[in-house]
Amino acid sequence: MRSVYIGILAIYYYYIYKYLTATPTSEAPYTFSEQVGKGKPKLASNSYVDFKSPPSHEKLGKENATIVMLVRNRELESALSSMRSLEDRFNRNYHYPWVFLNDVPFTQEFIDQTRLMASGEVFHELIPADDWNPPPYIDEEKLNENLVNSSNVIYGGSRSYRNMCHFNSGFFFRQKKLMEYDWYFRVEPDVQYLCDFDYDPFTYLRETGKIYGFVTAIHEYENTIPTLWPTVEKFMSEYPHLLHPNNSLDYITTNETELNYLVPLVNSSSSYNLCHFWSNFEIGNLNFWRSEAYLTYFNYLSKSGGFHYERWGDAPIHSIGLNLLADKSKIHHFDDIGYYHAPYMACPTSKDLRTFKRCICKAEMNGEIITEPYDVSIYSCLSRWWRYGSGKKFISEVDYHR
Ligand SMILES: Nc1nc2c(ncn2[C@@H]2O[C@H](COP(=O)(O)OP(=O)(O)O)[C@@H](O)[C@H]2O)c(=O)[nH]1
Ligand SMILES: *[C@@H]1O[C@H](CO)[C@@H](O)[C@H](O)[C@H]1NC(C)=O
Ligand SMILES: *[C@@H]1O[C@H](CO)[C@@H](O)[C@H](O)[C@H]1NC(C)=O
Ligand SMILES: *[C@@H]1O[C@H](CO)[C@@H](O)[C@H](O)[C@H]1NC(C)=O
Ligand SMILES: *[C@@H]1O[C@H](CO)[C@@H](O)[C@H](O)[C@H]1NC(C)=O
Ligand SMILES: *[C@@H]1O[C@H](CO)[C@@H](O)[C@H](O)[C@H]1NC(C)=O
Ligand SMILES: [Mg+2]
């Protein structure tokens, strides 16, 4: 009897020893089943295993592209949820890499868990402090005064939100890792992709010569950008040669009231109609953001201080940059992509498309069920884009079954 106990104890200690010495210092990749499962010790709830990517994470898609997510460690569950959704709907067939960006180092758990969720390679990058923090020409005192004075502005009191918007406007595309790619797909925590992709959107943009794709066009909160438009107007008069001859300025300045008549402009002295592409979803070409024209525009806006003394969002900054500096025919509305970021959903309205792409055009927010795509609502800016941007394509004109 005693020898049986000793035997069991010996096996038990053997496995504990194996587990403890199995820290991944070697190069050899190993998989889940080698560490956890039948015959392996049960992990305590406060322990985790550091897994290496299995070799099958090799890229299958043929574009020079990456998926990118700026994210905080505490958003791990939300990041995994977005990853699961995009992997299932798109990336499991392509294995494009994921680049995660953070202003503080990622935790080991974040790195391990995202690696397990990805079908492609994963990279976890620390943003240099100079790319994140307010630049030297920003007056700290003035920034702090505005932070405490902005409780009526959405995210108005958050310093990190301003850093984030400044970073997304002018720095994400020149992070060291992203310099290795031409194309990016921006993803945020807690978003959902509601239809199968069924073709590679990077390939689509490249083959059609486009540089940017969006799904939702909405109005900005006016009190986040009191001096944005006057600053843009000054930029335009100082750098007229940077404006693209086929730009889409008309789209952001038209004030036709038959379109979007439910969004009254409070500040009638500004000709900006507040329309912008919602930037939490973007598929685009990084070289546009890295172009001299865009960087000149970004630096001009950054120096004016509005990112820090007001609460300029990266969405209107990206959009106005595109509308001024790019050929409008190079901006694409992906009307066949289903997408949800609270509180708005984008989804194809065609039954044919919904069926073909296995869409579930439904999302839930705080117990409320959302089934109506935002872009067919009267608040949307899409009708303005159809009239003043690159036009509306009808379903019979487009081959969605690529
Ligand atoms: N690393 C990091 N990411 C941030 C920070 N603030 C926001 N983000 C990310 O920036 C994006 C936009 O932030 P979010 O909270 O979703 O703002 P919203 O979509 O405008 O409501 C998300 O991908 C966030 O994870 C921050 O302080 N640090
Ligand atoms: C605080 O806000 C008020 C009204 O919105 C404005 O008049 C004032 O100039 C602001 N002060 C600072 C320091 O931003
Ligand atoms: C991908 O794009 C980057 C940035 O433009 C470039 O430096 C790199 O050579 C490209 N790689 C390939 C394989 O084309
Ligand atoms: C209204 O617009 C004008 C001109 O574009 C600008 O100077 C002013 O700061 C704006 N005011 C507010 C409260 O947004
Ligand atoms: C729209 O803009 C035009 C030209 O600036 C102006 O004459 C007209 O009054 C504006 N209409 C509305 C409803 O604001
Ligand atoms: C400008 O863009 C429109 C909309 O996409 C397009 O129809 C037109 O051909 C473009 N014009 C030029 C000169 O490229
Ligand atoms: Mg978000």
Q: Quote the CA–CA distance of 89 and 194 in Å, as a whole number.
A: 8
Q: Quote the CA–CA distance of 206 and 204 in Å, as a whole number.
A: 6
Element containing residue 126 per DSSP (H, E): strand 122-126
Res 378: pLDDT: 77
Helix 314-325 and helix 228-238, axial crossing angle in degrees, nearest 10: 30
Q: Which ligand is nearest to the CA of 223?
A: 4
**Strands 275-277, 217-219: pairing kind:** antiparallel
Confidence grade of residue 375 (pLDDT, cut at 50, 70, 90): confident
Helices (H), 179-226: 201-207
Contacts of 209 (CB under 8 A, 6+ apart): 330
Q: Atom 5 (ligand 3): residue with closest C-alpha?
A: 182
Res 270: pLDDT: 84
- Contact in structure between 334 and 213 (CB atoms under 8 Å): yes
Q: Atom 28 (ligand 1): residue with closest C-alpha?
A: 72
Res 165: pLDDT: 98
* The model's pTM: 0.87
Ligand 2: distance of its center to the CA of 148 in Å? 10
Res 86: pLDDT: 98
Helices (H), 54-148: 76-89, 108-117, 129-132, 140-148
**Strands 65-70, 183-186: pairing kind:** parallel
Ligand 3: atom nearest CA of 287 is: 5
Least confident stretch, 25-39, 258-272, 332-346, 363-377:
25-39
Higher-pLDDT residue of 248 and 4 is 248
**Residue 64 in contact with ligand 3 by CB distance below 6 A:** yes
Confidence grade of residue 12 (pLDDT, cut at 50, 70, 90): low
pLDDT at 23 over 50: no
**Residue 257 in contact with ligand 5 by CB distance below 6 A:** yes
Res 27: pLDDT: 42
Q: Which of 229, 255, 271, 274 to mutate to test the pocket of ligand 5 (most atoms within 8 A of CB)?
A: 255
The yes-or-no answer on residue 282 being catalytic is: yes
Q: Quote the CA–CA distance of 41 and 35 in Å, as a whole number.
A: 9
ω into 343 cis (within 30 of 0) = yes
Options 282, 292, 364, 372, the catalytic residue: 282
Confidence grade of residue 357 (pLDDT, cut at 50, 70, 90): very high
Higher-pLDDT residue of 375 and 144 is 144
pLDDT at 25 over 50: no
Confidence grade of residue 394 (pLDDT, cut at 50, 70, 90): confident
Q: Any idea which fold 65-397 has?
A: Spore Coat Polysaccharide Biosynthesis Protein SpsA; Chain A (3.90.550)
Res 24: pLDDT: 43
- Contact in structure between 307 and 163 (CB atoms under 8 Å): no
Confidence grade of residue 306 (pLDDT, cut at 50, 70, 90): very high
Going from N- to C-terminal start, the domains of the chain cover 1-52, 65-397
- Percent of the chain at pLDDT > 90 equals 74
Residue 64, Cβ neighbours under 10 Å: how many? 12
Pair of tokens at residue 79: 């990041």
**Residue 246 in contact with ligand 6 by CB distance below 6 A:** yes
What is the pLDDT of the chain when averaged over all its residues?
Answer: 89
User: Chain centroid to CA 4: how far?
Assistant: 58
Helix 314-325 and helix 292-304, axial crossing angle in degrees, nearest 10: 140
Phi, psi of 314 (to 5 degrees): -70, -20
Res 329: pLDDT: 97
- Contact in structure between 339 and 168 (CB atoms under 8 Å): no
Question: For 227-305, where are the E strands, in sequence order?
Answer: 275-277, 282-285
Burial class (CB within 10 angstroms; exposed 0-12, middle 13-18, buried 19+) of 103:
middle
Mean pLDDT confidence for 208-220: 96
- Contact in structure between 289 and 175 (CB atoms under 8 Å): no
**SS3 label, residue 142:** helix
Q: Quote the CA–CA distance of 294 and 285 in Å, as a whole number.
A: 13
Confidence grade of residue 13 (pLDDT, cut at 50, 70, 90): low
Higher-pLDDT residue of 262 and 71 is 71
Contacts of 232 (CB under 8 A, 6+ apart): 272, 301, 320, 324
Q: Which of 99, 177, 179, 182 to mutate to test the pocket of ligand 3 (most atoms within 8 A of CB)?
A: 182
135-to-104, 125, 229 alpha-carbon distances in Å = 18, 21, 22
Ligand 2: distance of its center to the CA of 269 in Å? 19
Least confident stretch, 12-16, 45-49, 297-301:
12-16
Higher-pLDDT residue of 372 and 268 is 372
Report the C-alpha dihedral over residues 221, 227, 230, 234, rounded to 10 degrees. -130
Res 159: pLDDT: 98
Q: Is 333 left (phi over 0), alpha (psi -120 to 50) or beta?
A: beta
**SS3 label, residue 19:** helix
Residues with CB under 5 A from ligand 7 (ion): 188, 280
Give tens-digit pLDDT for 242-292: 999 999 999 999 887 666 655 666 666 789 999 999 999 999 999 999 999
Q: Atom 5 (ligand 5): residue with closest C-alpha?
A: 271
- Percent of the chain at pLDDT > 70 equals 83
Give tens-digit pLDDT for 108-154: 999 999 999 999 999 999 999 999 999 999 999 999 999 999 999 99
Q: Which of 72, 82, 158, 169 to mutate to test the pocket of ligand 1 (most atoms within 8 A of CB)?
A: 72
Res 10: pLDDT: 56
Confidence grade of residue 49 (pLDDT, cut at 50, 70, 90): low
Mean pLDDT confidence for 396-402: 67
